[in-house]
Chains A and B, each alone.
Chain A
């Protein structure tokens, strides 16, 4: 098939990772650009981007269960919390005010957080597989409230509401990544770490969803009865989707606060779950790149709205005025979800696809 790079003659070719030359070129350019960013922008923006990358890992997780397997979960904040506390407790100071075991090596607590959250997902799954659609959404919502209560009361682990505890310590091969080293500043290292982790987990997820398991998820999503008929066990794959999604949430949760270094149990409310749902829906449900775009969009949104008071003087920057930035932000979340679902259900990915198709046939596009 020389000279016909886009003629596919097998299924494997069709589902291959980065299967066209433009895709490879663009992805390469994007990665190169992302690696250059830490040397171009200021540290506070790097911190924000690093947070966005971590959120993207979490959003990929939610997308696996909600976008691919079609099980609506409002309980993502609960699994993020489990990951955050596992990571923080494992790497915490053994002599500190709150529980800590002093295992500061990043790969160890990262995997442990993922596994503990994944186990929690497995425990919840028996409830989930018996319920469908909105029943499931409400039950997972209940999970968030129960989790909030537990984390509020378990002060020896969480430090209690309003006080909080130090987050996981990002230490790789004996180097504290959140502190400046000989070559880089702390935010630069954290940015690079989060970027590498996002690429790793993104590629893993992409490979998962184009495998047999991913196709089984989609079959269960589209019609679970039909899936059962063609030999896909819905129960098994729903449980699996929950476990994998919770694993991703755990990983993201443990990293999420490593950037800032401190967190309190109030962070894991319903709002966090809704933010992740918004990331998935605004980015585009059922796509990995969409989850990443959505996560970056939602994470960078506050940064943009904070600039609003300079442009629109009737918005006040603190909590005193009639219309505050915080209110604008909250309204924007709601409006964006509604507008995207009505106007562009495929999300940012859909917009990108339309732009791409327009230019692909340019100047004969219509």
Chain B
């Protein structure tokens, strides 16, 4: 039982990281209709930035600074690379974000070097006893931070003027434009938000083990989470992220006993298998809006 609970908390912890990343994907998709494959690079860049900043200014100041810098970087990318592409097919824009991803990541890799870079977080791998179950502190921190961020985001979309503008753009760009909303600013803002969320997620992924050049692969696991939840559902992104994290963690704990023929490390690809299964049953994800058009 305690093994199960430990595994569950670990899953919720990593799942909340996926949820942060998935939120970035969904925010960009809702406003611009594009999936940004540049998220892994922003995540990596965020983690690396914190690793370089935290010895100087301390971890807790480094994280918000890094999130802001990466948000600015994402905004800059949107203005320079993506803005000329408005109106082009979404596939073309998505491929361009792959190009952006590669460029940003290679530049970032130069700041990592060949060794593992610690981010200087205060938690490391220390555990805490929670109702008699030993769990790692960092998973609890991840979960708590994600809950706070998600609540703040939902409040922002629900109650602020800018949030209302973003929702309007997501609903219908032309009508939003006619209401005097600056659609371009909304695009830029959504990229900045996604960049900041990715940077935060990157820091969490790097707690414990540190940053290396392979860290970005983690961000791709947010894609099954997005697909699970549905591309246009913020709540779905959070639920999908947590589900992917929990499934990955539970598979990692039990698959060796239950289905050893799947091979060790199957947990790493379990999210993709889960995604395929869900899509066979529900092509629009669990919470995604059905397209009216039928084929």
Contacts and interface: CB of A to CB of B under 8 A. Distances in A.
Contact of B107 (A131, A143, A331, A333): A331
Given A334-B98, A342-B96, A146 B90 contact: no
Interface stretch (A90-98, A133-141, A206-214, A295-303): A133-141
Given A134-B35, A137-B35, A323-B110, A142 B272 contact: yes
Contact of A133 (B90, B226, B265, B283): B90
Contacts of A146: 269, 272-273, 276
Interface in A3-22: none
Interface residues of B, number: 46
Interface in A140-154: 141-143, 145-146, 148-150, 152-154
A341 B295 contact: no
Contact of B84 (A143, A235, A342): A342
Given A131-B283, A134-B90, A149-B266, A334 B102 contact: yes
Given A127-B279, A139-B279, A331 B102 contact: yes
Interface string B259-295: 0001111101100110110011001000000000101
B95 interface: yes
Given A141-B223, A335-B103, A342-B85, A131 B293 contact: no
A322 interface: yes
A137 B283 CA distance: 13
A27 interface: no
Question: Counting chain A CB atoms within 10 Å of each CB, which of B88, B90, B226, B283 scores highest?
Answer: B283
A337 interface: yes
Given A138-B227, A142-B276, A327-B110, A274 B98 contact: yes
A2 interface: no
B220 interface: yes
Given A235-B295, A281-B95, A139 B81 contact: no
Contact of B269 (A145, A274, A330): A145
A323 B81 CA distance: 24
A327 B109 contact: yes
Interface in A105-139: 126-127, 130-131, 133-135, 137-139
B41 to A, nearest CB: 10
A322 B99 contact: no
Chain A: interface secondary structure? helix
A277 to B, nearest CB: 6
Among A130, A142, A319, residue most surrounded by chain B Cβ atoms (within 10 Å): A142
B295 to A, nearest CB: 6
B221 to A, nearest CB: 9
A134 B98 CA distance: 13
A277 B96 CA distance: 11
A333 B231 contact: no
B265 A149 contact: yes
A277 B266 contact: no
B134 interface: no
Given A142-B224, A142-B272, A337-B98, A137 B91 contact: yes
Nearest to B269: A149
Contacts of A235: 295
B231 A135 contact: yes
A330 B265 CA distance: 28
A225 interface: yes
Contact of B263 (A133, A149, A277): A149
Interface of B: 34-35, 81, 84-85, 88, 90-92, 94-96, 98-103, 105-107, 109-110, 114, 220, 223-224, 226-227, 231, 262-266, 268-269, 272-273, 275-276, 279-280, 283, 293, 295
28 contacts: A72-B94, A131-B279, A133-B90, A133-B91, A134-B35, A134-B91, A134-B231, A137-B94, A138-B223, A138-B275, A139-B276, A142-B273, A143-B276, A145-B220, A149-B265, A149-B266, A235-B295, A270-B220, A281-B95, A322-B110, A331-B107, A334-B99, A337-B98, A338-B96, A338-B99, A338-B103, A342-B84, A345-B88
Interface of A: 72, 126-127, 130-131, 133-135, 137-139, 141-143, 145-146, 148-150, 152-154, 224-225, 228, 234-235, 270, 274, 277, 281, 319, 322-323, 327, 330-331, 333-338, 341-342, 345
